Chain A
Amino acid sequence: MWFPIQRPERVSFGASAKPWMPFDSQQPNSHCYRLETNSELLCICSYTHLHWVPFSEDPNPVTHSSGPSTPLKNQTYSFSPSKSYSRQSSSSDTDLSLTPKTGMGSGSGGKDGVPLKALYRQQTQSAFEHREFPFFTLTTFPPGFLVHVGGVVSARSVKLLDRIHNPDEPETRDAWWAEIRQEIKSHGKALGCHAVVGYSESTSICEEVCILSASGTAAVLNPKMLQDCSTEGCSEHRLDDASSLGCSFCHIPYDELNMPFPAHLTYCYVCRKQKVPDVLFTTIEPPLEAAVTGKGCLIQARLCRQKKKTQGEANATAISNLLPFMEYELHTQLMNKLKLRGMNALFGLRIQITVGENMLMGLASATGLYLTALPSPGGIQIAGKTPNDSSYEQHISNIQKKINDTIIKNREIYEINPPEILEELLGSPIPETRQRSRLFRSQSESSDDVSELDLSHGKKDAFVLEIDDADAVEDIHSLLTDTPTPAGFYSCNTEIMPGINNWTSDLQMFTTVRVFRLNNVTGLTSHGLNKAFSDLCENLLKTLYFKLRSMVPCCLCHVNFNVALPEDELIQVSVTAVAITYDKDQAQYVTKVCTDKTILKASVENEDQLQFTLELCMESQSSQSALHFSPCKTMGITESGNLQQVTPAAQRATSVDYSSFADRCSSWIEFIKQKAQTIRRGSIKTIASLDKASPLAEAHTHHRSPISCTTSTVTVVEMTPLSFIPGAKIAKYLGIINMFFIRETTSLREEGGVSGFLHAFIAEVFAIVRAHVAALGGNAVVSYIMKQCVFMENANKNQAQCLINVSGDAVNLFRDADVESAPSQPQTSGLQIGNGSGDVVT
């Protein structure tokens, strides 16, 4: 996002802060707190992009008609449950009922052109009719689709669940979300944007208190592409726009003379024509066309705040009072860590606030990058408050030196060597500002400081960290002691790491769960608590690096942290990610250009490929089955009785008229029944035999994986949280996998304690997912996500319970290396998904 530089006077959360934290007076029953994270600071809104007809703003923003009562058209666009980060999106599921269900079969269904087309159509229509802001839960877009990116917009609201009169009815909840979306929209508008991309909603509930959160990235979208409903638009657009330079989306969407908040603009370092901010925060994936210098890295801000154990309204008030400080602190941490790494942009930002009985946890994860178009970040300067003490001065200068060294080191690690551009050439409109900002720790802020701070405002070079108490010293210390990623590792929470293109097909998806007990929470200082939480996360990452050391050089992608507070003193952190090995020796930047080409190709070619709707299913059947009628599908049908989970696609497939293949079918069914018997008896020969019998599947066995079994009869099923598998192309989507598992044990000790129980459980969850996919004829799961992992134990009773919810898309994929030998899929050859380009809609 374009994070507004937070001026000291703006963040002195004293009484003077009230104007920025309006409590909703219209809903006296619900305790409403809204922090307009960024946009609360945006006082002036301007609309510079009125040229866009379908989305053109009402000349007078005040009369904008959409209020909370407006039907929630925006829900139409959140059709990608597996990609959106909203863990508990069920709370807003009611809204989805407005949405036509077609095209919602699966999260990554949108890869294919058809539903996207339909979607565009819907959007444009609704935009015309209702002047709604489109909300996109997608995080990747075709090149040229994003014209400008404004920054992160977010809203939170604290609600009391026991105040709902009809808990079974969705009205109240709908109203809550409507409010939040309304707020998001207005933030977006304030940033001069008409759309929100990478949008997600989530909730955190503890007892009767609920925090509703929504965040997204305000953006200006390409009207042509929305109107034309085709991906051809993007190729046209690409030619006539600066996007070929990879800088267009960084350009500010708002009016520089009338900025919504104080910010430091410079001319774009790529095209040198448009203005860019000095920092950009977003919730989306780095656009493929983005010009990036060096590599990125995972940046996390962690925070833990104690609160009193209270009930009802008092509790909600306490939480509401804490939230703005937490948001601010998280932002400060992110900003500092970003600067420390010499980077200037965050992608995939996800801030998770978790509420517990006696504490609030905040975890912000994002992937830091150096966008070539943005100015180089200044350093971090330490300032002491008691300048007369010489030993203190000494101490400060030591820290300063450490920080400078770390920045230099980080620039080397992440290969950030931006081309030197002379200042004069850029002709900065604000000559004296080169990323001038002054940042103070929120805790130290008080209204007393204001006048003093005002004096210094805007005059300091670089980013200033003021040390005024012991906590601050430790904070800076912890900033520096963030474990550096070991050599050979990169990590990010986005799908792909810019700067690494030569992925190999060696990947390892994993889930790790840790539960920590904080001893004596009340005895800990807030800082101690922070440190404990931060160490916990750091240790987890360290363990991952250690465990995966055999995969070096590799990149941890889509590192997805989830924090839960199951009990008073327990913190549960679960992480799902994938480690992908890359080839160090190959050239790094080769694919940059061809990436763009392949996307276009992919998006066009993919149009014929969708298998989510019945018609398409039939089409694909008739067009392909003559060549390779897949018995795996029939298996889905015949076994639907005993396989509880049959994907929508497969279910629809049952109604497909197979008469032309009746003979073959019946013999297959006989065969499969027979095999199903064998399965039930515990033998696992089915898959292999099926594979052998089907020419298509035979190809799979051939393409399956480098470690393809010679003796074993078990299908290797790859799983990944990403929407693609490097070095492979997805031939067919077989449907969504969405499974809930509940397991209970009354012999916890005998099963190796809580860890033994959960280890076995997760291993079995993976195995069941793999088996389902294999039974559908697939060989991989993409967009895999563990949405829920609720663990409870009672050691005294020797009992434990666990609920896990996982979902993903079952797919059939082919390895690129084997394309030539796979004549059954001629239409897909020449398409490279390995670089993530196929991920048009996620």
Chain B
Amino acid sequence: MAVELDVFVGNTTLIDKDVYQLWLDGYSVSDAVTIRIQSGILEQTGATQDVLESDTMDHYRAFQMLERLLHCPSKLTNQLLFQIPPPMQSMLIEKYYTFDEPFVREVLGKKLSKGTKKDLDDVSAKTTITLKSCRRQFDNFKRVFKVVEEMKGPLVENIQQNFLLSDRLASDYAAIVFFANNRFETGKKKLQYLTFEDFASCGKHLIHNWTLGAVDCMVDDMDVDLDREFLQDLKDLKVLITDKDLLDQHKSLVCTALRSKVSSFTEMEANFKNLSRALINIAAKLIHTKDVRDLFIDLVEKFIEPCKSDRLSCNDVGIFLTQYMNTARALDAFKHQSLWERYMGTIKSCIITMYHE
């Protein structure tokens, strides 16, 4: 006897969180049934496999119908077709927009274009995340990007309002949008040790300090584009390394402050000029879009790796950068204090975030 048709519709849409997760993970109905059986649900409930299959099919159908609403979460909360309690709605949205860490690391900073989408099967193979799930996550990134790209106002708030996400997820998406827009390179081998969380928190610092929004909160793209004027001005910082006196003065001030405070003082003293030159050079180059993209790789290659080879602890690097930033105030000949602090404050936070194994 074959079941030709089998549907179950509740007045309140019935949603099983576990099945939803399986659906999000891109499993087919039969795979999902297998996984559910492995979870021991049959023993717990005394159900049979065909019951499980029927249940899974019902859920998958409902999710499929819900999917187009999930693309625009505000529609989900205002639609009449499915009666879903608000907490469940939030869960649906939150989970739909949740992404996998390995996946986002692959895509972070890449252009969210059709070309990238075509390469998703490679990503899928590499991360063992199903292609279906990869596509969903990619489309989510792209959708959020498209919606908030041209919007006024703070990025996180825009994302939150348009996609009804939690604070945490919204700020993650802000970072993803920011990285995608500026096309930061994150995929190089040397950057592999960094997690999405590292990048997200760096992104947060950058958004907060280096974008247009940092100075004026009513411009378009305020949180998405970097402040070109600021980047332009950064070349003025070169004076700190081109002016010999200034460099020496800066070094002596930093070394005085650091002495007896850090364990690896000698290495720092010896490397001061190199490190300072590295940081200033990065700043000076940021006017070029290409170098903006390489910001993180530059930070790692020019600053973090030398420090690591000297076996400086994260704490020491932190103290060094703080002193390096603060002592510049005492340099009478250095006129770009606010520019310096805007640059160094962010760089310091980024480096501290990125300074780990």
A550 to B12 alpha-carbon distance, docked (Å)? 13
Q: Which of A514, A550, A709 contacts B6 (CB 8 A)?
A: A514
Contacts of A519 in B (CB 8 A): 1-2
Q: Are A513 and B5 in contact (CB under 8 A)?
A: yes
> At the interface, yes or no: B333 with Cβ under 8 Å from chain A?
no
Count residues on chain B whose CB falls below 8 Å from chain A CBs.
42
Main secondary structure of the interface of A (DSSP, over half): mixed
> At the interface, yes or no: A547 with Cβ under 8 Å from chain B?
yes
Q: Are A719 and B11 in contact (CB under 8 A)?
A: yes
> At the interface, yes or no: A640 with Cβ under 8 Å from chain B?
no
Task: Looking at the assembled complex, report how far the CB atom of B110 sits from the nearest CB atom of chain A, in whole angstroms.
Answer: 33
A509 to B83 alpha-carbon distance, docked (Å)? 12
Interface string of A735-756 (1 = CB under 8 A from B): 0000000000000000010111
Stretch at the interface among A46-54, A292-300, A536-544: A536-544
Number of A-B contacts (CB under 8 A): 139
Stretch at the interface among A466-474, A692-700, A762-770, A812-820: A762-770
Q: Are B9 and A770 in contact (CB under 8 A)?
A: no
Q: Which residue of A lies closest to B65 (CB)?
A: A760
Stretch at the interface among A111-119, A581-589, A610-618, A710-718: A710-718
> At the interface, yes or no: B43 with Cβ under 8 Å from chain A?
no
Q: Are A542 and B47 in contact (CB under 8 A)?
A: yes
Q: Would you list 21 pairs from A and B whose C-beta atoms are within 8 A, ordered by A residue? A: A508-B10, A508-B14, A513-B7, A514-B3, A517-B4, A539-B51, A542-B47, A542-B48, A684-B79, A712-B77, A712-B78, A714-B83, A755-B5, A755-B7, A755-B57, A758-B5, A758-B7, A759-B7, A763-B9, A763-B81, A764-B81
Instruction: Please provide the chain B residues from 1 to 50 with a CB less than 8 Å away from any CB of chain A in the complex.
Output: 1-14, 16, 45-48, 50
Known: A684-B78, A717-B11, A767-B83. 19 other contacts (CB 8 A): A486-B46, A508-B11, A510-B8, A512-B9, A514-B7, A515-B6, A519-B1, A547-B55, A547-B58, A684-B79, A707-B87, A710-B86, A711-B86, A711-B164, A716-B83, A752-B64, A755-B7, A760-B65, A770-B11
Interface string of A679-715 (1 = CB under 8 A from B): 0000111000000000000000000000101111110
> At the interface, yes or no: B270 with Cβ under 8 Å from chain A?
no
> At the interface, yes or no: A791 with Cβ under 8 Å from chain B?
yes
Interface string of A658-690 (1 = CB under 8 A from B): 000000000000000000000000011100000
Q: Are B1 and A532 in contact (CB under 8 A)?
A: yes
A684 to B77 alpha-carbon distance, docked (Å)? 10
Q: Which residue of B lies closest to A791 (CB)?
A: B5
Q: Which residue of A lies closest to B52 (CB)?
A: A546
Interface string of B79-101 (1 = CB under 8 A from A): 11111011101000000000000
A542 to B45 alpha-carbon distance, docked (Å)? 10
A712 to B86 alpha-carbon distance, docked (Å)? 7
Which 3 A/B pairs are nearest by Cβ-Cβ distance?
A: A707-B85, A515-B5, A510-B10
Known: A543-B8, A547-B55, A719-B11. A709 touches B86 (CB 8 A): yes
Main secondary structure of the interface of B (DSSP, over half): mixed
> At the interface, yes or no: B314 with Cβ under 8 Å from chain A?
no
> At the interface, yes or no: A516 with Cβ under 8 Å from chain B?
yes
Contacts of B65 in A (CB 8 A): 759-760, 763
Q: Are B80 and A684 in contact (CB under 8 A)?
A: yes
**Interfacial residues, chain A to chain B (CB-CB below 8 A):** 486, 508-519, 532, 535-536, 539, 542-550, 570, 572, 683-685, 707, 709-714, 716-719, 752, 754-756, 758-760, 762-764, 766-767, 770-771, 791
Q: Which residue of A lies closest to B4 (CB)?
A: A515
> At the interface, yes or no: B253 with Cβ under 8 Å from chain A?
no
Contacts of B9 in A (CB 8 A): 510-512, 759, 762-763, 766
Q: Which residue of A lies closest to B54 (CB)?
A: A543
Contacts of A771 in B (CB 8 A): 80
Task: Looking at the assembled complex, report how far the CB atom of B51 sits from the nearest CB atom of chain A, in whole angstroms.
Answer: 5
Contacts of B80 in A (CB 8 A): 684, 714, 767, 770-771
Q: Are B77 and A754 in contact (CB under 8 A)?
A: no
Contacts of B1 in A (CB 8 A): 516-519, 532, 535-536
Q: Are B58 and A546 in contact (CB under 8 A)?
A: no
Contacts of A791 in B (CB 8 A): 5
